[in-house]
Amino acid sequence: MMTAAGLLVLSGCGGGGDDASSSRPAESASKIKVGFSQIGAESDWRVAETASIKAEASSRGVDLRFSDAQGKKENQIRALRNFITQGVDAVILAPVDSTGWDPVLEEVKDAGIPVILVDRGIETTDDSLYNTLIASDFTEEGRMAGRWLAEKTGGDAKIIQLEGSPGADPAIERKNGFEEVVDQHDGMQIIASQTGDFNQEKGQEVMEALMQQYGDQVTAVYAHNDNMALGAIQAIKDAGRKPGEEILVISIDAVRSAFEAMQAGELNCTVECNPLLGPMAFDAVERILAGEEIEKQTVVQDQLFDREGITEEIVASRQY
3.50.50.60, 3.40.50.620, 3.40.50.2300, 3.40.50.150: which CATH number matches 7-136+274-301?
3.40.50.2300
Q: Which of 176, 22, 198 is nearest to 94 (CA)?
A: 198
Q: What percent of the chain has pLDDT over 70?
A: 91
Average pLDDT on 80-88 reads 98
Alpha-carbon gap, residue 158 to 156, rounded angstroms: 7
Statement: residue 4 has pLDDT above 70 = no
Q: pLDDT tens across 238-249, in order? A: 999 999 999 999
Would you place residue 317 in the very low, low, confident or very high pLDDT band (cuts 50, 70, 90)? confident
Q: pLDDT tens across 99-109, in order? A: 999 999 999 99
Would you place residue 163 in the very low, low, confident or very high pLDDT band (cuts 50, 70, 90)? very high
Say if CB 296 and CB 133 are below 8 A apart.
Answer: yes
Average pLDDT on 65-87 reads 97
Output the pTM of the full model. 0.84
What fold is seen in the domain 138-272?
A: Rossmann fold (3.40.50)
User: Three-state DSSP class for 229?
Assistant: helix
Alpha-carbon gap, residue 130 to 124, rounded angstroms: 10
Alpha-carbon gap, residue 64 to 70, rounded angstroms: 18
Q: Would strands 269-272 and 304-306 be described as parallel, antiparallel, or unpaired?
A: antiparallel
Q: pLDDT tens across 177-201, in order? A: 999 999 999 999 999 999 999 999 9
Q: Which of 291, 139, 156 is nearest to 219 (CA)?
A: 156
Q: What is the dihedral of CA 8, 56, 251, 209, to 10 degrees?
A: -130
Averaged pLDDT of the chain: 91
DSSP string, 161-223: EEE-STT-HHHHHHHHHHHHHHTT-TTEEEEEEEE-TT-HHHHHHHHHHHHHHHTTT--EEEE
Q: Where in the chain is the domain with CATH 3.40.50.2300?
A: 7-136+274-301, 138-272
Statement: residue 97 has pLDDT above 80 = yes
